[in-house]
Amino acid sequence: MKKVKLNVLGLSYSQMQSGAYALVLTEENGKQRLPIIIGGFEAQAIAIELEGLKPPRPLTHDLFVNFAVAFNIELIEVVIYKLEEGIFYSELVCDNGGSRIKIDARTSDAVALALRFKCPIYTSQEIILKAGIILDFKDTKAKSKQPSQEKATDQPYTKHDDFLNVSIDELKKMLDLAVKKEDYEKASKIRDEIKRRGNK
């Protein structure tokens, strides 16, 4: 299998499924993007790492990392190796110091772990050709080989309208409170707003 390296582009609300998100992966050396529909909890686990948020207690994926580190197990890479009936199949390639082991995993979990271990994510050229899309920003239309495939967008999945009348200091207090309450979805939105104002 010729491997194609992928990077995490971001998350967007799914327009097809209520309460779901599109995880958007992009070719490192190409224009194809791979949208994968995931659930809210999985999206939250990925968003926490993308935003650099540190929960007060380890969440499930953090616990997995701590467990692996304690027993000298390293996650070498994540491979999205199959697409069947709209479902992406992934595996974790691990090294325990003596041998390499492949572990089956949901793609959302695999990506959440890849971000935490800072390891590469790969797929095959076949999957890219089957499910990849190219976003044309000139006419904002997505070109896809599968018309029924979820169309991902680059629009942020958070809205800043809710924070228009809130000062930066208040936003920082709200962020601390959201993290303490483990409301990471809200924390991500607040962090996005703080970053947005910092970039003005």
Local confidence pLDDT in tens for the 200 residues of the chain: 789 999 999 888 776 667 788 899 999 988 899 989 998 889 999 999 998 888 889 999 999 999 999 999 999 999 999 999 889 999 999 999 899 999 999 999 999 999 999 999 999 999 999 898 876 544 334 444 443 333 333 333 344 456 777 888 888 888 878 777 766 667 777 877 787 787 66
Domain count, the chain: 2
Please report, for residues 84, 137, 195, the alpha-carbon distance to residue 47 in angstroms, rounded to integers and kept in the order given. Answer: 26, 24, 15
Residue 155 located in a structural domain? no
Distance CA 107, CA 129 (A): 18
Q: What range defines the domain where residue 18 resides?
A: 3-144
Residue 44 located in a structural domain? yes
Residue 154 located in a structural domain? no
Examine the domain organization and report whether 177 and 132 are in the same domain: no
